[in-house]
Structure 1
Amino acid sequence: MLPHYSLLLFLCLARLLSPSAALPFEQRGFWDFAMDSMDTGGMMTMMRDEEEGSAVDPTFPPGVPTCPFGCHCRLRVVQCSDLGLTEVPKDIPPDTKFLDLQNNRITELRENDFKGLTNLYGLSLRNNLISKVHPRTFVPLKHMQKLYFSKNLLTTVPKNLPASLVEIRIHENRIKKVAAGAFAGLSNMNCIEMGANPIQNSGFEPGAFKGLKLNYLRISEARLTGVPKDLPESLHELHLDHNQIQAVELEDLRRYKNLYRLGLGFNHIRNIENGSLSYLPRLRELHLDNNRLTHVPRGLPEMKYLQVVYLHSNSIGHVGVDDFCPRGFGVKRTFYNGISLFDNPVNYWEVQPATFRCVSDRHAIQFGNYKK
């Protein structure tokens, strides 16, 4: 019998001389991993499956959805932007939460483009060429809350928007008309951005916003000549800047008692009828810059919460001592922290210091006559 150390040496030599001996692995090709881990029978089976078309791609195990060609899929976000797509891609994973299709050349949304995407939360279609939307395109999107549809060729608001929708942005399209009930059933809607559409006041049919409890609405860069009628009473922010509004009449703001920010800059406003602002008891910001006002609007001293007033780039030639602050012991709950009066023909040295007695800090007043 061999000594135990001789037996050990013999076994080691036998192992080294064996064809199946383990040597340091040096990968020379992609399939080296597969070939090293498979026996001859396994390799033959895989080759036979390849020929028969039944081989399983190890990159995508059975039941795991693939990512559309050219797109990037990660953490339930599918990014297919800037690919020159002319239609919505197929095989979008059903668990997708956000789908990015912006900056493509999609011209139409068809009925089944989003079929099965019941978990979708947000959809971006910004900057495409979409002019046609099937009435049932959005029906499968039971939980979608955000829809970004800006910079397309829409002429009307898409039909049958998901009832779960909270925010829609459809500015920079070709919308000229908002039909009655265009937003029907959208009781959760919070924000609508529809500026830069060639829409006139007559383009809003009665009941266009019926049932909405909006917080934010912007209709800037349109063709409005006055404040639109029958907007949602719930509004906190209303932006109508860059239009052709000539005046603010007494009844224009009567419905909007909850407004805290009103944007009317870059219009043609010459007059704000006395008493118009009294309907806005909670207003905090008033933007009237770049208009044609000749005096400070009446009623500002009675606005207890007003903090910011933009009046620059108008034609104001005089500022009175009581134009901004209440007299005597009049109540103002919050002091102004921003008043802009620059680029007006008024001489700042003629304005009495007491005019700004309810301003938090002298730096809050922008009054320099900087325009040469």
Structure 2
Amino acid sequence: MTSLGRKTMSLLRQLSIIFFCFEVTVYCQYEMHRMDEDYDEDGDDDYSPPFYFHPSRDGGIPSHPGPLSCAWECFCPLTFPSAMYCDNRKLKAIPKIPAHVQQLYLQYNDIEAVTAHSFANASNLKEINLGHNKIKSQQIEHGVFARLPNLLQLHLDHNDLEDFPLPLPNSLERLLLGNNAISRVEAYAMEGLINLTMLDLCHNQLHDSLLKEKLFQTRNLMQLSLCSNRLESMPPDLPSSLMHLSLENNSISLIPDNYFKKFPKLLALRLSYNNLQEIPYDTFNISSLVELNVGHNRLKQAFYVPRNLEHLYMEDNEFEYINVTLMCPSIDPIHYRHLTYIRLDQNRLKEPISSYICFCFPYIHSVYYGEQRKPDGQTVQLKTQVFRRFQADDEEEEEEEGDGQGHEPEGQEQGRTEENFDPYFY
């Protein structure tokens, strides 16, 4: 290398060192400048970090302080800031509820007690779900729910309650107490619950003696569920506002005459799994009734079917013959009856219902027979009736389910008709 080349290389090295030092100096100054801008010794009192949430311990999501608090055991979603989710977290106690919470979900835990301390600031609560816990009646602090003036819905189902929880706020609209061990209800339990529309007491230990008083006299009660208790008779003095009544899986053997005439709004009635052997002929003459279930009893004779009834369930009874004239004593060509479906499997029928049923119930679509019991204990299969006016629709559906070329699915029987009203079997 020549002397000139060596001098050039030396000069380039020196220039590189100078530029490097200059870069470091500028960078350090820039960083110091940013640090001076970001650091505020006095702080900003007006600054508020965004809303935060606390997931469960195992969630692995970090929490950040914020203006709306959330119990650390729970989850408060940004998209639903009025709710606090504490469900399925193996909690043994209810955490302190922040004042802004309106929906509180505590189901599927190991909670045994309800104390006023947890709800001291929770006056805005509208819904509490404490279902599927281990709460006993004596472990609910007296008046803890009554102090919540905005409460609309309370879930205490699937617990260990022995008594009806008292007192409750007048604002309450829906109360779920199913799957407990409630065997005691005070006569004044419903007093003041003027807004209650739905009450579930299924799967408890209620006896007839508990329902003799005017227990359910709440003028707005629309849905009452008393299924799977120990009732032997129809509960008296139910409110006339009822629209849905569930009494299935009890031991009721008798329906008093004119019992349902005081329920002008009743839409659905469920009396399955009882001990009914006979029903007074016009018991269900309720103009509003749409669904009736008397399956799994010991009935032998048909009864009057109201004009607006659409779904009738009579499976697993002792019917040997269905007298259509009893179900429909007269035909009104102007005011048709609306029955569309009857279920009759697990009875003792030897043949399908008379085709006269089409005159009485022009909207009837099908009658399901399924298996019928024979005197020797064997069963016989009766084919479901689908009536001819619906045959075209059914065949279109069958074609769609077939091979795509208009052929019926394999094993499907061709419809047959007799006269104008005979049913189509499949």
CA distance in 2, matches of 1:154, 1:233: 28
Counterpart contact for 2:293–2:313, Cα < 8 Å: yes
- In structure 1, runs of 5+ residues without a counterpart are 1-9, 24-34, 47-57
Q: Residue 196 of structure 1: SS of its match in structure 2?
A: coil
The 3 A distance-change label for structure 1 pair 356 and 267 is farther
Q: Which among 306, 311, 315 is matched to residue 314 of structure 2?
A: 311
Amino acid at match of 2:182: I
CA distance in 2, matches of 1:262, 1:18: 84
1:293 aligned partner: 299
Q: Does 1:321 align with 2:320?
A: no
The 3 A distance-change label for structure 1 pair 215 and 22 is same
Q: Which among 266, 270, 276 is matched to residue 263 of structure 1?
A: 270
1:70 aligned partner: 73
What TM-score do you get using the length of structure 2 for normalisation?
0.71
Q: Does 1:235 align with 2:242?
A: yes
CA offsets, 1:258-303, max 9 Å, x none?
211111011111111234223x232111110111001112x22xx2
1:96 aligned partner: 101
Q: Which among 123, 126, 135 is matched to residue 130 of structure 1?
A: 135
Q: Which among 110, 113, 118 is matched to residue 113 of structure 1?
A: 118
- Greater relative contact order, per chain length (Cα 8 Å cut-off, separation 6+): 1
> Offset of 1:340 from its aligned partner?
1.2
The 3 A distance-change label for structure 1 pair 331 and 368 is farther
Structural mapping, 1:51-66, within 5 Å: 59-61=64-66, 64-66=67-69
1:4 aligned partner: none
1:172 aligned partner: 179
Counterpart contact for 1:324–1:356, Cα < 8 Å: no
CA offsets, 1:62-107, max 9 Å, x none?
xx243212211122211111222221112x2211121111111111
CA distance in 1, matches of 2:298, 2:334: 30
Counterpart contact for 1:151–1:170, Cα < 8 Å: yes
The 3 A distance-change label for structure 1 pair 217 and 136 is same
2:345 aligned partner: 342
Counterpart contact for 2:268–2:292, Cα < 8 Å: yes
Amino acid at match of 2:346: D
> Offset of 1:185 from its aligned partner?
1.2
2:354 aligned partner: 352
1:365 aligned partner: 367
CA distance in 1, matches of 2:169, 2:365: 48
The 3 A distance-change label for structure 1 pair 319 and 36 is farther
Identity of aligned residues (%): 24
Amino acid at match of 1:239: S
The worse-fitting range, judged by mean Cα deviation, of 210-219 and 311-320 is 210-219
CA offsets, 1:28-53, max 9 Å, x none?
xxxxxxx996449959999xxxxxxx
Q: Residue 209 of structure 2: SS of its match in structure 1?
A: helix
Amino acid at match of 1:305: N
CA distance in 2, matches of 1:239, 1:86: 34
- In structure 2, runs of 5+ residues without a counterpart are 1-17, 44-62, 374-378, 380-426
CA distance in 2, matches of 1:122, 1:67: 17
The 3 A distance-change label for structure 1 pair 82 and 37 is farther
Q: Residue 84 of structure 2: SS of its match in structure 1?
A: strand
> Offset of 1:194 from its aligned partner?
0.8
Please identify the structure whose Cα radius of gyration is greater.
2
Moved over 3 A (4+): 10-16, 35-46, 328-334, 358-363, 368-371
CA distance in 1, matches of 2:33, 2:354: 91
CA offsets, 1:175-201, max 9 Å, x none?
112221212111111111110001111
The 3 A distance-change label for structure 1 pair 96 and 110 is same
CA distance in 1, matches of 2:74, 2:331: 67
What TM-score do you get using the length of structure 1 for normalisation?
0.81
CA offsets, 1:129-176, max 9 Å, x none?
111212210133211111111011111111121211111110011111
2:166 aligned partner: 159
The worse-fitting range, judged by mean Cα deviation, of 182-191 and 111-120 is 111-120
Q: Residue 119 of structure 2: SS of its match in structure 1?
A: coil
Q: Which among 198, 206, 209 is matched to residue 205 of structure 2?
A: 198
Q: Which among 28, 35, 58 is matched to residue 20 of structure 1?
A: 28
The 3 A distance-change label for structure 1 pair 331 and 267 is farther
CA distance in 2, matches of 1:214, 1:223: 22
> Offset of 1:254 from its aligned partner?
3.6
Q: Which among 149, 153, 156 is matched to residue 149 of structure 1?
A: 156
CA RMSD in angstroms comes to: 3.0
CA distance in 1, matches of 2:318, 2:100: 57
Counterpart contact for 2:194–2:218, Cα < 8 Å: yes
CA distance in 1, matches of 2:68, 2:290: 50
> Offset of 1:211 from its aligned partner?
3.1
> Offset of 1:331 from its aligned partner?
6.3
